[in-house]
Amino acid sequence: MSSGKPRHYLKGIYECMHRGIVAHAVEMKAETLGLLDGVAFAFLSMDAGEERRAVVVKLEALGVPFIDVGMGLELTNGSLGGILRVTTSTPAKRDHVHQGRISFAGGGGRDVYASNIQVADLNALNACLAVVKCKKLRCFYRDLEHEHHTTYTTDGGMLLNGDQS
């Protein structure tokens, strides 16, 4: 990092709240999938493509529950819009993942994600939705629907749940 901060800056912050954090400064791809061995839970936030598919297949083979987040955004007349997605996969319910809930197609143009500051807000919201779902799985929050797929649409602020178990 050019700012002079340590390479594992976030690890240092989260270690104050959680033990056992191990940071790996590598991209997740076929050669690094072994890093997932021993994982008890995973959050995925990756570009679509074969790397994402490989990680999903590995986590499923290990029996690991995970939450995958994604966004489909567009910029029209200077206004950002789109849909945020939170998809949960547990050993009890995984079928929806391979029925189109998670895209494995190669990512297209990423200009809007790299050039629009509002994307940071949407990333934060998506992360919050994923953490709430994780806490629902851990019974910190009530979960009467047991949804495994949630979308949030920026236009109208619509939050929809599906794929109940």
In a domain, 25, yes or no: yes
The CATH number linked to 83 is 3.40.50.720
Give the helix/strand (H/E) hosting 161.
Answer: strand 158-162
User: Do the beta carbons of residue 37 and residue 57 sit within 8 Å?
Assistant: no
Which of the 8 DSSP states describes residue 90? B
- Number of domain units in the chain: 1
- Phi, psi of 79, deg, nearest 5: -115, 130
In a domain, 69, yes or no: yes
Q: Can you give the pTM of this predicted structure?
A: 0.85
Give the helix/strand (H/E) hosting 156.
Answer: none
* CB atoms near residue 18 (< 10 Å): 8
Tokens representing residue 54 in the block: 């490989």
Mean pLDDT per block of 10 residues along the chain (165 residues) reads 56 81 82 92 87 92 96 90 94 89 71 82 95 96 94 94 84
| Model pLDDT, residue 3 | 47
| Model pLDDT, residue 63 | 97
Could you list the residue range(s) of the whole structural domain that residue 85 is in? Answer: 9-162
In a domain, 1, yes or no: no
Sequence-separated (6 or more) residues with CB below 8 Å from residue 41 = 64, 65, 66, 134
Cα 59 to Cα 62, 131, 139, 163, distances in angstroms: 5, 18, 22, 19
In a domain, 16, yes or no: yes
Give the helix/strand (H/E) hosting 118.
Answer: helix 118-137
| Model pLDDT, residue 130 | 96
